[in-house]
Structure 1
């Protein structure tokens, strides 16, 4: 992340007020530091003159020393208290800003993730969940040093350096030139060390993310591992990942300590250079003692903010890395217009009907009319390895097209490419039947508006069955008689009885369908895709292994429903290993034989 990423101001509005407050408090800090140095230099010079070490000091009287110094000492004490109060105010404001900013980022990222899943822009998995928990949990907690130390110091540095240089130029131009020439050394060292720190911190953050994902996978699969007596073999794997995380953390700490030493050394050498110059001129009588002391007290204050920026950056590095991931989540959030989607759903539902459990005779209209799914020259690579290379195929409207082939051939990859979840090359078009000129190629987001889909992972959320079924672009269609009737119809089409469907609509389930069996969870997910297809008039229905967790009776009912959807003019594309679906299909495309059969 940049020293001050503009996205932080956009996504965490609390940081804007904090920066304004930090700027005002920083100005007060710089002013008090200059006043402190001036008072202390005058007191020391006056004491030296009273003792006969040097000549008279401007502004000094001829009376006793202590009464003369009392006002200056009181002023010095007031300045010290003022600096302490401002330091406390900065910490307090920073702590409040950090809490508010983290809350805003967490809320925004959580809503963005939920919207992506509901809108079909992401397919949730346990590893993605572990990554999200790590980023939004301990990752964002590490932003505390960023707000409490780094940002205030960054603002203070931007204000302090020009003010200190200006004051030095009025008192001693020679010192001002020396400071101006030596100050860039500190950013130079900061940049050189920062590259190593950033790389080490990214590796450490990646290992922490990997550790959390591995641990979650282990916990979720522990029952299976115990059944097959393989749990003990995961101990060494977890131990190795934990040790790599420990080593990377210690490496980051070593670099941080080294950077602190280098910055302190550069600043100390620069101050020593100024001190030698001032000392020589004091001995030669070319400079007053009060001015020399004032310069020597100001110079460390000029270097300190810049030096502290580098030190505090290392303290905030983990939070900065986590914030990058949060910004990526927020940058990729789908634009949602729930009102438009819901009104479209209601309008589509008002003029459509369905015959019910038999699955025959569906008359649901499609907003875009019947469209073929046409794929030409599609290629997808994983790393440098091609998974799909030059695929040509056409899934026709009013037909059930089954994509078959052995595991690993690329069926789920093709599914993700059609949905726009992964980058691909080639053409993925939705074209009217018999059209000589194909419609323009749509982006993944545009295609998703025309596709109702259900993946291998059902992605059910915590809530009622009705809330999980009646979803349109991440928003639930308002609960109404029409909504309940349409949701009940989809459940009946998938083998639930009328009484069971009415009862299950208000049944509350947990995350990932907790409380339902595997087959029930998948049927609810398929019902959600059917609800979207019918209420939004989607011309394409895309399902990935829809019957994998179903028994024969439920699979037969699903096939009847898919035939009804195809009879209504919808393009039904199913990825499946099951022989029953292949036998019921109008067209079977074996991806292991492409492009010859698929292009026919």
Structure 2
């Protein structure tokens, strides 16, 4: 966290500014109630000590009770406002993070550990709820309440006000010193948790290979070591938190005690009126309470704040990334998607240039040896990787024009229907069933439940469900080009031949088809074959 408030979070989560203003308004009323309650209670107690009639004291007691009820209602309202504001701010930040990852694309994701990004987007953003919902409102309350209470004390008794002014800076001084330690241990804890998530995900993903080579116990031991280190880091965070709480409570108690002792001595020698002394004694703890609460909420929000650097690393990378999707109006009649002079850098290798055009009713086959960059060309068309050249489309963007199925099925946990109609608000079961039939997967029921990554289907079945998903998008959206990357690599010859017939039918219905395949049988259905040129080595600019 950069200072007491990270301005980057407030800029991205604009909802935070609105609810902080609402919190400030509530705090102003609460502060007025606090001072009024202290004065009414003082007046009632002093009157009772002086022997005033009960009838004269009841109005003060009644008003004090009303203020207590009002303060309780305002506290509940403040909690509600803070909770809703925190939820809105976190939602905005999560949306910005998801949009940034989407703009950076699979090429960027492939160079990073997916588990650590998922942890940042999930647990890290959830931990920021305490930052938005508790820490920031408390900081606002401190800025408003503390000066008002100090001024009220100073106006009533300058001596007590001076003591408060002298002792009050000790609390933020210790907060800064302890806060530096808190930020350090919290950062280590979050880094260790990120490492644990990444290690666990990698181990689960490669568990089959580890068991074949008899290395699963070593992987388990490694996870155990990281888990124990995370436990130690967590205990360090707790120790610092308890130390912080003790230090703040101790300083506040000592400061209030000094005020109380001076008031008591002056009451004994008659140098101070009881009404003033009692009023100041009631307000003195409230002068220190906001700062103590800031320290408490700082520790509660520290875990979320530790994730902000990771969050803004992604946001900054997306901001600096160039726009990869070029929309050129006025493409040739009948052309749905075209690329001219398309070049993609992949490490030291430069893929391309590639010229291709996918027209309505035609199947274009993109050919080349393994590693030539065919999938990279598709990624460029989808806007997932940086490229040179132009991409032309008749739609709003190339991504809007394309219904795509990649080499990996990319299925998610849920039913087959949910996977086929991925993202649809109201899935069309009849259309999904038709797409399954056209993808040669009619025997797979729509209500079959799949595990993470499509667990529960064979490789060929998962591939056909992915093709059905692309067909569903083509038929249910404005997409006009079906792009398939090795759709038959896990299929036998008979099912492959049936799939090729489906692609021909799709083209005859007016769509364009861009196909990447190593199978020689794909040549028989292609209207045009585009051969990938050899990749060449070019020094990075």
Please say whether Structure 1 and Structure 2 have the same fold, judged by a TM-score greater than 0.5: yes
Say yes or no: does 1:30 pair with 2:34: yes
Aligned mates of 2:520, 2:339 — CA distance in 1: 23
1:238 to 184, 207, 223: 223
Aligned-pair CA distance for 1:164: 0.8
Does the 8 Å CA contact 2:350/2:538 hold for their aligned counterparts?
Answer: yes
Aligned mates of 2:304, 2:477 — CA distance in 1: 42
Could you say which residue in structure 2 is the equivalent of 1:362? none
Could you say which residue in structure 1 is the equivalent of 2:390? 429
Could you say which residue in structure 2 is the equivalent of 1:401? 366
Aligned mates of 2:500, 2:537 — CA distance in 1: 25
Q: Secondary structure at the match of 2:462?
A: helix
> CA-to-partner distance for each residue in 1:259-302, whole Å, 9 max, x for gaps?
33554566567667867987998899875565355445533321
Aligned mates of 1:178, 1:580 — CA distance in 2: 90
- Going from structure 1 to structure 2, the CA distance change for 1:558 and 1:508 (only over 3 Å counts) comes to same
Does the 8 Å CA contact 1:405/1:592 hold for their aligned counterparts?
Answer: no
1:163 to 134, 140, 148: 148
Aligned mates of 2:12, 2:101 — CA distance in 1: 23
- Going from structure 1 to structure 2, the CA distance change for 1:376 and 1:157 (only over 3 Å counts) comes to same
Aligned-pair CA distance for 1:219: 4.5
Say yes or no: does 1:587 pair with 2:538: no
- Going from structure 1 to structure 2, the CA distance change for 1:20 and 1:292 (only over 3 Å counts) comes to closer
- Going from structure 1 to structure 2, the CA distance change for 1:215 and 1:109 (only over 3 Å counts) comes to farther
Aligned mates of 1:413, 1:260 — CA distance in 2: 55
Q: Secondary structure at the match of 1:396?
A: strand
Q: What does residue range 173-192 of structure 1 map to in structure 2 within 5 Å?
A: 173=158, 175-176=160-161, 179=164, 183=168, 186-187=171-172, 189-191=174-176
Could you say which residue in structure 2 is the equivalent of 1:140? 126
Aligned-pair CA distance for 1:242: 0.6
2:465 to 524, 533, 541: 524
Aligned mates of 1:569, 1:523 — CA distance in 2: 19
Aligned-pair CA distance for 1:247: 2.6
- Going from structure 1 to structure 2, the CA distance change for 1:539 and 1:155 (only over 3 Å counts) comes to same
Aligned mates of 2:101, 2:418 — CA distance in 1: 14
Could you say which residue in structure 2 is the equivalent of 1:357? none
1:447 to 369, 394, 398: 398
Aligned mates of 2:223, 2:151 — CA distance in 1: 57
Q: Which residues of structure 2 form unaligned runs of 5+?
A: 318-331, 359-363
Aligned mates of 1:372, 1:152 — CA distance in 2: 53
Aligned mates of 1:113, 1:167 — CA distance in 2: 45
CA RMSD of aligned residues (A): 5.8
1:371 to 317, 337, 347: 337
Could you say which residue in structure 1 is the equivalent of 2:512? 570
Aligned-pair CA distance for 1:6: 7.5
- Going from structure 1 to structure 2, the CA distance change for 1:95 and 1:328 (only over 3 Å counts) comes to farther
- Going from structure 1 to structure 2, the CA distance change for 1:534 and 1:271 (only over 3 Å counts) comes to same
Aligned mates of 2:164, 2:334 — CA distance in 1: 70
Say yes or no: does 1:475 pair with 2:424: yes
Aligned-pair CA distance for 1:305: 0.9
Say yes or no: does 1:460 pair with 2:464: no
Aligned mates of 1:581, 1:116 — CA distance in 2: 37
Aligned-pair CA distance for 1:465: 4.7
Could you say which residue in structure 1 is the equivalent of 2:320? none
- Going from structure 1 to structure 2, the CA distance change for 1:203 and 1:33 (only over 3 Å counts) comes to farther
1:10 to 8, 15, 28: 15
> CA-to-partner distance for each residue in 1:187-246, whole Å, 9 max, x for gaps?
465455445534543442343244345435545654554455332121122112212312
> CA-to-partner distance for each residue in 1:350-403, whole Å, 9 max, x for gaps?
xxxxxxxxxxxxxxxx998333224555446xxxxxx36554422412432135
- Going from structure 1 to structure 2, the CA distance change for 1:289 and 1:452 (only over 3 Å counts) comes to same
- TM (norm. structure 1) is 0.62
Length, aligned pairs only = 511
Aligned mates of 2:165, 2:373 — CA distance in 1: 62
Say yes or no: does 1:255 pair with 2:218: no
Q: Secondary structure at the match of 1:316?
A: helix
Aligned-pair CA distance for 1:314: 0.4
Say yes or no: does 1:229 pair with 2:194: no
